[in-house]
Every structure is written in C-alpha cells, then in structure tokens.
C-alpha cells in the first residue's frame, strides 16, 4: 500500500486586519480581557467581494505550485467548510472549474474546526488503496459572515482564511502515520448556527476542548506506535491559547515546539491548522523528518488528530 503525505501547502489570509482596539470602540470589552482569555490580538477579515470559494481557490493554487503538481493531475478535491458560498453547488466544485482540475471528483466536508483533519484522513484512504494518486484538501472559512458583531462573547474570536494541502504518495516512513477521529453529538448544541449567526456555549466548549485535544494527541501517537517523547512539534487548532496550552502540557512539550498563530488570525475554524502549518514552515519550525501532531476540535461536537512524519 502507498504511503500518503503532504507534497505542498498554501494559504490565503484575509486582507483586513481587525485589532482588539477596534472592538473596544464597539463593544463592552478590552484588549486586555480578550488577550488574557483567548490569546487573540487581531484577526483578518476578507473583503465583501471575496467569497469562500475565492479564498479556497487562492490557497489551492498556492499549494499546487509548491507541490509542483498540475491541476489536471488532481484526482479528488475535498473542501472542509461550514461557510460555503451557498448551500449548493459545493465550494469544491466551484474551485474545480477555476483550477482546471477537469478529471477531479469533488465534495465538501462539514466537520467545523476539525474539518481539515477529517479531509486528511479521508484523502489518505484513497491514496493508500491506490484508488487515487493526488488529492487536494482545503480548509476554508468566511466566519465574518455568520458572526454576530453585537455579541461580545463571540464577535472577538473569529477570522477568515484558507489553507490547502496536496496529498500524494511519499516514501516509506514519511507522511501520515495515523489518525484519530471522533464525535460526541450530546454536545451538538454547544456550538450551532440555527438562524443567521453562530452561537456558542463557551464554558462547555472549553471543558470539552481541553480534555479532547490532549487525549486525542496522545491516542494518535499511540496508534502510530510512538510516544509523547517522539513528538517534535504540535500544531493545534488555533481557537484559544489556554486550550492550546493544555494540549501542549499533556504532551510535555516546551512552548517553542507548539505552533501559535491565534494571536494574529484568531479562530479560522477548518482553515486554522493548514494556515498555521504554512506559517510555521516558513519560520523553519518544522523540518524534514520531524514527527508532527495536528489536532483540532469543533462543532458537532467533533475532534480529530493526525500524526505524520514531515517530508516526501
């Protein structure tokens, strides 16, 4: 069976920078309150004319260029999002046409902030069995369009962005070593969008995330035949610095071995992990041969983690 790994990765970051000071002028909140409770200092919003599919296309184009893979060689496009342009057609089909990926099948995945992890796990199966060779996985959200900016508890948390990865065969010992996916529908209504805007029970989500992020990280390493001592770098979903720190502490990693972009992007849901990967690769934090754990949680309630050895 083939080994599946990441051949190239790209991202799109919203152009509009919105700082905590901007929210101080509109809501009963403060920069100090936001930073100490979430770790967020600013977030990015996409302009009104940029849709979810536009962001996905730009990130995907970047990833294809880095992977040196032509769009015509993509067999399947998986887009993780909870903020599509419209209920249907899917974002994946919209970008298939724009990219010129004429032979690719396409579908969207709705697993909220764990969506990119679900996409990696799904794509790996097709490559391992030999059904497909190259798969494009995108995590993309325009959360600004479902955020209630009069609600101080949620307005300050979210941002827009996209991240994309090209999956393909890699050498033995490299790539995705194991994954873990899970769900607890009993907590489904703790994060939901019943009407126009996103709603969240922050206290319950926090308790769930602190527990699951650490536990899932340890379980996926165990499934890969590894221990926490083998982990070189942790890329957690960038939702809240306190949740991220809890996961890091469970793995007993020093702070410099945990990715952190929440301070500048906020919570970008399914785009969070791939956007962060792009930044940390540019910063030289992830090196060839490193054991990297990706872990996320989100509405559903769902969670997922991937252990991989970086490189081709």
Known catalytic residues are 113, 237, 267
Tokens 């962005």 correspond to what residue?
161
Q: Select from 128, 129, 138, 126 the least CA-distant residue to 101.
A: 138
CB 193 within 8 A of CB 146: yes
Tokens 């957690």 correspond to what residue?
236
Tell me phi and psi for residue 26, to 5 degrees.
-115, -25
Q: Select from 293, 304, 301, 274 the least CA-distant residue to 12.
A: 274
The strand pair at 302-309 and 291-298 is best described as antiparallel
Q: How much of the chain is in helix, strand and coil states, percent to nearest 5? A: 40, 25, 30
**Token pair listed for 164:** 């994309």
What separation in angstroms does the CA of 202 have from each of 55, 88, 150, 217, 244? Answer: 28, 30, 16, 22, 15
Tokens 């805007």 correspond to what residue?
197
Q: Can you tell me whether residue 268 is helix, strand or coil?
A: coil
Q: Select from 281, 275, 295 the least CA-distant residue to 231.
A: 295
Inter-helix orientation angle 241-251/202-223, to 10°: 30
Q: Select from 59, 114, 122, 38 the least CA-distant residue to 82.
A: 114
Inter-helix orientation angle 115-129/272-282, to 10°: 80
**Token pair listed for 115:** 């969506």
């Amino acid at each position: 069976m083939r080994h599946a790994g990441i051949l190239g990765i790209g991202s799109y970051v919203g152009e509009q920078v919105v700082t905590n000071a901007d929210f101080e002028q509109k809501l009963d909140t403060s920069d100090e309150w936001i930073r100490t409770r979430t770790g967020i200092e600013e977030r990015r919003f996409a302009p009104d004319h940029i849709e979810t599919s536009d962001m996905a296309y730009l990130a995907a184009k970047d990833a294809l260029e880095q992977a040196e893979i032509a769009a015509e060689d993509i067999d399947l496009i998986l887009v993780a999002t909870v903020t599509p342009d419209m209920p249907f057609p899917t974002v994946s089909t919209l970008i298939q046409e724009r990219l010129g990926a004429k032979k690719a099948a396409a579908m969207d995945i709705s697993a909220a902030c764990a969506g990119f992890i679900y996409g990696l796990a799904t794509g790996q199966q097709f490559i391992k069995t030999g059904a497909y060779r190259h798969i494009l996985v995108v995590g993309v959200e325009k959360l600004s369009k479902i955020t209630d900016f009069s609600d101080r508890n949620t307005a300050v948390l979210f941002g827009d962005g996209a991240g994309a990865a090209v999956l393909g065969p890699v050498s033995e010992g490299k790539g995705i070593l194991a994954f873990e996916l899970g769900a607890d529908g009993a907590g489904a209504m703790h994060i939901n969008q019943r009407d126009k805007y996103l709603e969240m029970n922050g206290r319950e989500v926090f308790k769930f995330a602190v527990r699951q992020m650490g536990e899932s990280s340890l379980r996926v390493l165990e499934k890969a035949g590894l221990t926490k001592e083998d982990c070189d770098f942790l890329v957690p979903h960038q939702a809240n610095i306190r949740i991220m720190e809890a996961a890091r502490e469970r793995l007993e990693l020093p702070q410099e071995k945990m990715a952190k972009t929440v301070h500048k992007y906020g919570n970008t849901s399914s785009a969070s992990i791939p956007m962060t990967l792009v930044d940390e690769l540019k910063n030289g934090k992830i090196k060839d041969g490193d054991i990297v754990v990706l872990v996320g949680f989100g509405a559903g309630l769902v969670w997922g983690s991937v252990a991989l050895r970086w490189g081709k």
